[in-house]
Amino acid sequence: MGSDTPMRKQFCALILSALWFACGDDGGGEATKSATPDAVGGGEFFVYNGTLVSILAVDETMRIGVPHLIELRNNETGAPFDPPITTMSAPETGAISYRSPKGIVKQLWVRGTGTGTDATYDTVLVNASSETSDKLIRIASSGLVSIAEGSAGFKGRSDRAALAGGIYWTPNKTRMDTVGCAKVYLDGATGPDVEQDQFYNAANGLPAPRTCPEPAGGCVPVSQTLSGGRFYFGNVKVGNHTLKVSLDDGKTFVGETKIFVPYSRAEAASPSKNVLVQMAIDLDVPANPTPAGCTGK
């Protein structure tokens, strides 16, 4: 899998860290109120104040000082709200503030900027809750795509997008822990979606190959989530998707989430022409269903 270079550590941090709205306290469920801002929330608004930070960030000190455009969009279609809800992160401080209707599930788009080593990718958080206690917005940065491609063994397509997700034990809408030894089934598939480059993440946080060539060498295949609960699609199609979670190889399902992937790498606003969609699957069950002995974060 290679040594832990700084860029490789950035990718690991992306997978292992909370993914803000998509993996926040009460996000990740199906959209129920996402038509237009003036059609939901009963006129009540939520004011968010936070900081735009790098993938490695654990607090606001790792702020991104280059201003980024941030827009809230319809969770089911990716269309702009009417009127639009946009804001710019502040130069130098990375401070973010916006006003959003309460009770609305949305997508949050961060437009990537720059080229070379200081580039950031378009980052789309789907099924985002209206209110969140997380004050950090983490975005993807230069080099992450090539690291994922090399780790799992796929090539990113311009007409597709990357999708990073996690599975969480979330009783009574309170996220408590990740779920390991689970498998994700996309759009009715009965196995890994090879055509959309489906992978699970290894203990180092990187997407791992499904199988290993002979001789295997240092390759360690991963066929389900480790205890960290992470999965990755290198080339997910634009449009609507349904993801189901099973702990018994697809015989039964313990959770289901619908998402809308709004656009492809070719349609990205960032000069790097990369987009990462972030999501979560929450399992509302009495106890963490991770089987005993499931290891590896």
Yes or no: say if 167 and 178 are a contact pair by the CB < 8 Å rule: yes
- 69 has pLDDT over 90: yes
Residue 45's contacts (CB-CB under 8 Å, 6 or more residues apart) are 99, 100, 101, 102
Token pair of 165 as six digits: 């997700």
pLDDT confidence tier of residue 218, bands split at 50, 70 and 90: confident
pLDDT for position 43: 66
Per-residue pLDDT of 108-148, as tens digits, reads 999 999 988 889 999 999 998 866 667 888 888 877 778 88
- 5 has pLDDT over 70: no
Instruction: State whether residue 247 is helix, strand or coil.
Output: coil
Token pair of 295 as six digits: 């290891």
Token pair of 220 as six digits: 């360690």
Residues in the chain, total: 297
pLDDT confidence tier of residue 288, bands split at 50, 70 and 90: very high
Rounded distance between C-alpha atoms, residue 67 and residue 90, angstroms: 6
The DSSP result for 57-126, as a single string, is -SSGGGB--S--EEEEEETTT-PEEEEEEEEEPPTTT-EEEEEEETT--EEEEE----SGGG-B-EEEEE
Per-residue pLDDT of 148-160, as tens digits, reads 899 999 999 999 9
- 202 has pLDDT over 70: yes
Closest C-alpha among 112, 128, 115, 105 to residue 35: 105
CA 27 from centre of chain: 12
Rounded distance between C-alpha atoms, residue 81 and residue 85, angstroms: 7
Q: Tell me, what DSSP letter sits at residue 141?
A: B
The model's pTM is: 0.86
- 23 has pLDDT over 60: no
pLDDT for position 240: 98
